Every structure is written in structure tokens, then in C-alpha cells.
Amino acid sequence: MESKTVSSSRVIMTELVLPTHTNSLGSIFGGQVMSWIDIAAAICAQRHCNHEVVTASIDELSFVAPVYKGWVVNLKASVNFVAKTSMEVGVRVDAENPKTGETFHTSSAYLTFVCLGSDGKPTQVPGLILDTDDDRRRNKAALSRRQARIARRAASL
């Protein structure tokens, strides 16, 4: 199984915030953003492993700015770390006010996906080639988050 670069599976997804996506304040429902994050991350994970994937966890999801009806939402997803059968995908969400052209960082999340074989059981994930300093920085941070997740899981048993 050949390793793949981070850039080979990167996803850029664009959405328009419609009235059905918003609450009574005219800002987007957090659950809608979460759904888009999960979709962008799943596409990225599938591109990396060329198999179906399932979301195992979402952590570090932070909403830092509101997004309003009529704005454009841009989601960027990339694989940060791979283990034997799982991988972490980071997603950054930026919103663009089309009237002013201003862009805002609105949320970020880290998701863990498990790669599934044709039998529906976890299967091996290709290795990750880290080409850039950003790739290496994200990989190092992802390893720390993975170790923290494993420790939390062990402590709760």
C-alpha cells in the first residue's frame, strides 16, 4: 500500500447559507455547520484511503464567529495524521460576507475516521507523506490529540 501526500486528499467545499439553515437571529445553526464539517472531512478521509469511512469522533469543535444568511461558507479539510486503521482530519471553516468581501474564520474541528474494508471491518490506512512544514506541524499536533483521546478513553473505562 502506497503512502499518500496530504495535498492528494485535501478538500475545499463551498456552501451558501440559505434561510433553511438559519435560526431566528438569522445566523446559521451550529448543527448545520457540524454537518458540513462531517461531510467535508469524510470526503477527505475517503480520498486518502480509497475506502468507505465512518466518523469515530469529533473533538475540538469551536465556534468562534457567527455566520449569517446569504453568506458563503468555505470548508477546508486535510488529513493530519494516520494510524493503522484510523486517521485524523482537520477542518477549518471560513465565511465570506458577499456584500463586503470580508472573510472570517468561524470554526474549526478535528475528526477521527475509521477506514472500512469491503467486509465492513476496519482496514489499513495508507501512510501519510508530510511535504510541508504545515503538514509536519499539523501531524505533530494531531499525534498529541490522539494520545489525549486514548488517555481519556482509558480513564473512562
95-154 per-position pLDDT tens digit: 999 999 999 999 999 999 999 999 999 999 999 999 999 999 999 999 999 999 999 889
Domains of the chain: 4-156 (3.10.129.10)
Residues 6+ apart with CB under 8 A from 117: 51, 123
pLDDT for 151: 93
Q: Give yes or no for a contact between 105 and 64, defined as CB atoms under 8 angstroms apart.
A: yes
Give Rg (Cα) of the chain. Answer: 16
Residue 35's pLDDT band, with cuts at 50, 70 and 90, is very high
Query: β-strands 52-63, 103-116: how paired?
Result: antiparallel
From the list 44, 49, 53, the residue with the least C-alpha distance to 121 is 53
Comparing 24-33, 72-81, 144-153, the range with the smallest average pLDDT is: 144-153
